[in-house]
C-alpha cells in the first residue's frame, strides 16, 4: 500500500481547499490502482484500512441526519465512495459497526450492497428486518431483491408481514423478482386491506410480474395458475367501483 491512510484522512478532514482536493485525488488514484488486475493483496490491505477508519470515526454522540453534521462527515463519505469499488467480504463486519451512524449509514449500506456473498446478504437482511427508519429498510429490501438467495428470500418473507405497509409493499415487489411460485401467497397477503389498505391493482401487477418470472424460470404450469388467480380476482373492478361511489376504500367482502 503506497498511501499513508492516517495522513490521507487528516488532509481529507481539512476544510475544502487545495490540500483537501489533492487528498481526494490521491485517494481516487490509489483506489483505481489497487482495483486493477494483480493487485488483490494491496486491494485487500487498502480496503481493510479504509473500513477500519470508517468504524473508528463513528461519532460517540448519536445524531439524526437533519441535525448539524459532524466535521468529519465529508471525509467519511469520500472513504465510503472508494470502498464501493474495492471492499470485500472481510470489510462487512467492520462496516456494520457504522450502520448506527445516521449521517453515513445509507452510504454504508450502499457499500455492503456492492459486495457479493453471504456475509453481505446477512448484513442486508439484518438492516431490512431490524433497521431503524422505513426508507433505510426499503433500501436494504431492494438490495435483497437483487440477490435471489434463500437467505434473502427468508428476510423478505419476514418483511412482507411487517406492520408498516410501505415495508410490506417493498418486500412484495422484491419477492416478485425471484420467480418462485411459493411466494405468491406471501405477496397476496402483504396487500391485505385489513392490515393497511393498498390498491388491489398494485397487488395484481406485482403478482403478474411474479408469474412472468416464474414462467421465465421454466415453471409454466405454476405461472399459469397465478395468471388465472389474478384474472379471477378482477382487481380493476374495485377501482371502477370506488370512482363510481366517490370513496377511496376497498369494497366490503361478502360474508
- Stretch 215-234: mean pLDDT: 85
Same domain as 160, residue 111: no
- Stretch 168-195: mean pLDDT: 87
Rounded-to-integer distance, Cα 167 and Cα 131, Å: 11
Higher pLDDT, 204 or 149: 149
pLDDT category of residue 74 using cuts at 50, 70 and 90: confident
The per-residue pLDDT for 57 is: 80
Last residue of a domain, one of 94, 115, 136: 115
Same domain as 178, residue 100: no
Same domain as 157, residue 48: no
Rounded-to-integer distance, Cα 22 and Cα 84, Å: 20
Examine residue 129 and state whether it is found in any structural domain, yes or no: no
Examine residue 35 and state whether it is found in any structural domain, yes or no: yes
Residue with cell 437533519: 66
Q: The C-alpha cell of 251 is what?
A: 369494497
The per-residue pLDDT for 195 is: 57
Rounded-to-integer distance, Cα 236 and Cα 65, Å: 40
- Stretch 29-53: mean pLDDT: 92
Q: Which helix (H) or strand (E) holds 185?
A: helix 184-190
Predicted confidence (pLDDT) at residue 72 exceeds the cutoff of 80: no
Give the range of the structural domain holding residue 75, as residue numbers without chain letter. Answer: 1-115
128 Cβ contact partners less than 8 Å away, ≥ 6 residues apart: 137, 140, 141, 144, 155, 156, 158, 159, 171
Same domain as 199, residue 154: yes
CB 152 within 8 A of CB 120: no
Examine residue 225 and state whether it is found in any structural domain, yes or no: yes
- Stretch 228-253: mean pLDDT: 58
Same domain as 95, residue 54: yes
Predicted confidence (pLDDT) at residue 251 exceeds the cutoff of 70: no
User: pTM of this prediction?
Assistant: 0.81
Examine residue 142 and state whether it is found in any structural domain, yes or no: no
Same domain as 109, residue 157: no
Higher pLDDT, 109 or 62: 109
The per-residue pLDDT for 247 is: 43
Predicted confidence (pLDDT) at residue 95 exceeds the cutoff of 70: yes
160 Cβ contact partners less than 8 Å away, ≥ 6 residues apart: 168, 171, 172, 175, 186, 187, 189, 190
Q: How many CB atoms lie within 10 A of CB 248?
A: 10
Same domain as 83, residue 4: yes
Rounded-to-integer distance, Cα 83 and Cα 77, Å: 10
pLDDT category of residue 235 using cuts at 50, 70 and 90: low
What's the structural domain count of the chain? Answer: 2
Q: The C-alpha cell of 146 is what?
A: 437483487
pLDDT category of residue 66 using cuts at 50, 70 and 90: very low
Same domain as 201, residue 253: yes
Amino acid at each position: 500500500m503506497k498511501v499513508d491512510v492516517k495522513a490521507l484522512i487528516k488532509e481529507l478532514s481539512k476544510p475544502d481547499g487545495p490540500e483537501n482536493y489533492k487528498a481526494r485525488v490521491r485517494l481516487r488514484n490509489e483506489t483505481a490502482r489497487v482495483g486493477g488486475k494483480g493487485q488483490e493483496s494491496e486491494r485487500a490491505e487498502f480496503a481493510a484500512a479504509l473500513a477500519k477508519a470508517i468504524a473508528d470515526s463513528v461519532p460517540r454522540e448519536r445524531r439524526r441526519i437533519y441535525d448539524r453534521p459532524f466535521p468529519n462527515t465529508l471525509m467519511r463519505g469520500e472513504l465510503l465512495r472508494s470502498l464501493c469499488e474495492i471492499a470485500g467480504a472481510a470489510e462487512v463486519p467492520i462496516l456494520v459497526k457504522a450502520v448506527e451512524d445516521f449521517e453515513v449509514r445509507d452510504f454504508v449500506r450502499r457499500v455492503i450492497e456492492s459486495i457479493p456473498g453471504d456475509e453481505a446478504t446477512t448484513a442486508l437482511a439484518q438492516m431490512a428486518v431490524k433497521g431503524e427508519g422505513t426508507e433505510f429498510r426499503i433500501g436494504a429490501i431492494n438490495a435483497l431483491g437483487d440477490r435471489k438467495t434463500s437467505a434473502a428470500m427468508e428476510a423478505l418473507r419476514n418483511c412482507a408481514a411487517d406492520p408498516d405497509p410501505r415495508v410490506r409493499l417493498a418486500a412484495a415487489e422484491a419477492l416478485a423478482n425471484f420467480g418462485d411460485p411459493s411466494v405468491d401467497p406471501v405477496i397476496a397477503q402483504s396487500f391485505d386491506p385489513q392490515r393497511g389498505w393498498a390498491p388491489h391493482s398494485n397487488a395484481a401487477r406485482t403478482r403478474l410480474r411474479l408469474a412472468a418470472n416464474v414462467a421465465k424460470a421454466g415453471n409454466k404450469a405454476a405461472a399459469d395458475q397465478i395468471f388465472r388467480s389474478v384474472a379471477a380476482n378482477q382487481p380493476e373492478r374495485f377501482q371502477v367501483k370506488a370512482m363510481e361511489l366517490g370513496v377511496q376504500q376497498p369494497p366490503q367482502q361478502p360474508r
